[in-house]
Amino acid sequence: MLSEKQKLDTLMLLGIELNRIHDLDILLERVLTRARQFVNADAGSIYIRQGDRLIFAQSQNDTLQSKLPVGEKLIYQTFSVAVDPTSIAGYAAATGKLLNIPDVYTLSPDKRYQFSRRFDQASGYVTRSMLTIPLITSKKEILGILQIINAQDHEKRIRPFSQTDEKVMLHFAGMAAVALERAQMTRAMILRMIRMAEMRDPRETGPHVNRVADFSLEIYEHWARRRHIPEKEIDKTRDVLRMAAMLHDVGKVATSDLILKKPTQLSSEEYEVMKQHTIQAPDSFPMFSPITMKRPPSSP
Ligand SMILES: [Fe+2]
């Protein structure tokens, strides 16, 4: 639990911290972690707006996480809700208003929005207090929703979110929206480049790059933790690594069609050429060059 002084220090440096993160997923993860730390909340989620839907993009839950073996991550189903006043997140996105609900199970039935018990029923978790804040840019565009669940007191008892929590989170959400807008632009640029690679190899570049990015991060995190690399260094590298991994297929523009589009199995020589696409891409983006991925002197 952060002390009041730590909270103030973190809040003052938050803009700088969030603006250092380039990758959208890493940013969402950090926004949620920090938001929960400020109000000592057990769980939370972030939804990203895509047209008239809110896509469930990030979730954290300390209680459920503590029941898993060390190093294992919670698995969530991706789903979406409509931007309309029937759900809590939908209401906040449709109206731009913050919702502070002391207990979602005693929500008055005449409210337009109602709490969906599906997640609690499936996971065995009990949601009580909930603070839902829209992420609004300076141009009044709603990028998504930050939802913080089950604030805790010093004895880990669930408490309602206070008015101070609301104020801190509104300030926090403003800074998060600025960083989110920038990260979404970077992600859009990366996706355009991936589409360029897809024109060369339309078979499955999209899902493939996402898979490579997820695997790369998993491998790196295990590798780095075993070598006791400082968390700050790990965070920085994860950010660059995720984007670099997503861009690796751009190197396919330099691979011959004879190999790339060969319908039968590649020979071992052709396979060696094919593997080069992962090296061709970082060469085109010096910021993602392996040289920027620092290694401690003792590592292999
Ligand atoms: Fe690839």
Q: Specify the pairing of strand 80-82 against strand 142-152.
A: unpaired
Provide the pLDDT for residue 232: 83
Domain count, the chain: 2
Q: Mean pLDDT over residues 51-55, rounded?
A: 95
Whether 269 is covered by a domain: the verdict is yes
Do 283 and 207 fall within a single domain? Answer: yes
Do 155 and 199 fall within a single domain? Answer: no
What single letter denotes the amino acid at residue 147?
Answer: Q
Provide the pLDDT for residue 282: 57
Distance 211 CA to ligand 1 centre (A): 10
pLDDT, tens digit, for every residue of 7-40? 777 777 888 889 889 899 999 999 999 999 989 9
pLDDT, tens digit, for every residue of 93-108? 999 999 999 999 999 9
Distance 248 CA to ligand 1 centre (A): 6
| 136, 163, 183 - which closes a domain | 183
Look at residue 117 and give its three-state secondary structure. coil
Provide the pLDDT for residue 236: 86
Distance 240 CA to ligand 1 centre (A): 17
Distance 260 CA to ligand 1 centre (A): 11
Estimate the crossing angle of helix 4-19 against helix 163-200, to 10 degrees: 20
Distance 274 CA to ligand 1 centre (A): 9
Indicate which CATH number applies to the domain containing 280.
1.10.3210.10
| 164, 183, 202 - which closes a domain | 183
Helix spans in the chain (H): 4-19, 24-39, 62-66, 88-95, 118-123, 163-200, 205-226, 231-247, 257-260, 268-275, 277-284
For residue 267, give the DSSP letter. P
- Rounded to 5°, the CA angle 255-261-266 comes to 85
99: which 2 tokens?
């919702």
Provide the pLDDT for residue 199: 79
Distances, alpha carbon 146 to alpha carbons 58, 71, 168, 176, in Å: 10, 25, 13, 10
200: which 2 tokens?
């060369």
Q: Residue 1's CB: how many other CB atoms inside 10 A?
A: 10
Residue 204 confidence class, pLDDT cut points 50, 70, 90: low
Look at residue 116 and give its three-state secondary structure. coil
Do 168 and 24 fall within a single domain? Answer: yes
Whether 38 is covered by a domain: the verdict is yes
Percent of the chain residues topping a pLDDT of 70: 92
Strand partners, 149: 43, 130
Residue carrying the six token digits 């620092």: 294
Q: Mean pLDDT over residues 142-153, rounded?
A: 96
Distance 218 CA to ligand 1 centre (A): 17
pTM, whole model, 2 decimals? 0.80
pLDDT, tens digit, for every residue of 283-300? 555 555 544 444 444 433
Indicate which CATH number applies to the domain containing 144.
3.30.450.40
Query: Residue 29's domain spans which residues?
Result: 4-183
Do 80 and 220 fall within a single domain? Answer: no
Structural contact between residues 74 and 64, judged by C-beta atoms closer than 8 angstroms: yes
Percent of the chain residues topping a pLDDT of 90: 54
Where is mean pLDDT largest: 7-16, 116-125, 276-285? 116-125
Do 203 and 152 fall within a single domain? Answer: no
Residue 260 confidence class, pLDDT cut points 50, 70, 90: confident
148: which 2 tokens?
């913080």
Distance 250 CA to ligand 1 centre (A): 8
Whether 268 is covered by a domain: the verdict is yes
Q: In the predicted model, is pLDDT for residue 219 greater than 80?
A: yes
